[in-house]
Amino acid sequence: MSEIAQSLTLASELIATGDNRLAAIVGLSLQVSLSATLLSCALGIPLGALLAVGRFPGRHALIILFNGLMGLPPVVVGLLVYLLLSRAGPLGELGLLFTPTAMVIAQTVLVMPIIAALTLQVIEDEWHEYREQLRSLGASRLRAGRTLIWNARFSLTTAGLAGFGRAIAEVGAVMIVGGNIDGVTRVMTTTIALETSKGDLPLALALGAILITVVLLVNAVAFFLRQWAEKRWG
């Protein structure tokens, strides 16, 4: 118990002193995970909408696939992306292994299915509600998909946040493809893992508290942005 109290004090001290190295690590965490979330939204939202309104062979299989991929273990994703980006792998020439870009790729693979599956759910509900209306207007399915995405844009922020939560919290994938290199690919979660390895449990826990704080802040920003936007354009 005293360890938890000790780590909370340590966490507030770290935040108060504005430690430069810690700030850089937090910054990289945000940069990598926000990039991955943005990319996943760009890919996953249209894909989810397509699965919701489209009718084509293999659609059910794809839906099951994306729902299943939500449970993809980060270590497996890390390993897959590592094998792709390794010098001995098919994309080795790019020299991306152990860079933040590699981490963005891995997290995108991890997060995209979550966004696609959640979008599918949201848009499918919308589709049931507005199908007749859209049909009577003579909208094609593609057109309808686009309209419904726009319609559901506020609900879809939850999908984005869920994806971001997954990205910023995972350690297995970024550890493998990033290598936890000091000052280059070291993020919050890999730092926590490292400090745990060193047996510095209070510091590890303090970093965990800071990570949660950062995630809460991101969510708060998203919440108020959404409220503001809904008032303005909703």
Partner 1 sequence: MWARYALRLISLCLGLACWASPAWSQTRFIIIASTTSTEQSGLFAHLLPLFEKASGIKARVVALGTGQALDLARRGDADVVFVHDPDAEERFVTEGHGVKRLQVMYNDFVLVGPQSDPARARGKDVLEALRRIAAARLPFVSRGDRSGTHAAELRYWGLAGIDLAREKGTWYRDTGSGMGPALNTAVSMNAYILADRGTWLSFRNRGELGILVEGDTRLFNQYGVILVNSARHPHVKQTEGQAFIDWLVSPAGQQAIAAYKVGGKQLFFPNAAK
Determine if 104 is a binding residue for partner 1 (CB under 8 A).
yes
Calculate ∠ Cα 191-194-196, nearest 5°: 110
How crowded is residue 140: how many other Cβ atoms within 10 Å of its Cβ?
Answer: 11
| Nearest one of 109, 123, 34 to 79, comparing CA atoms | 109
Among 113, 163, 172, 179, binds partner 1 (CB under 8 A): 179
**Of the listed pieces 27-35, 114-122, 150-158, 207-215, which binds partner 1 according to CB under 8 A?**
27-35
Structure tokens given for 99: 């860079």
Among 200, 214, 222, 226, binds partner 1 (CB under 8 A): 200
Q: What separation in angstroms does the CA of 77 have from each of 4, 35, 70? A: 32, 17, 12
**Cβ-based nearer residue to partner 1, 198 or 231:** 198
**119 to 138, contacts with partner 1 by CB under 8 A?**
none
Residue 92 and residue 81 in contact, taking contact as beta carbons nearer than 8 Å: no
DSSP 72: -
**x/- site string to partner 1, residues 73 to 92, per CB under 8 A?**
-------------xxxx--x
* Residues in contact with partner 1 by the rule CB under 8 A: 31-32, 35, 38-39, 42-43, 46, 86-89, 92, 95, 97-101, 103-104, 142, 146, 179-182, 184, 194, 196-201
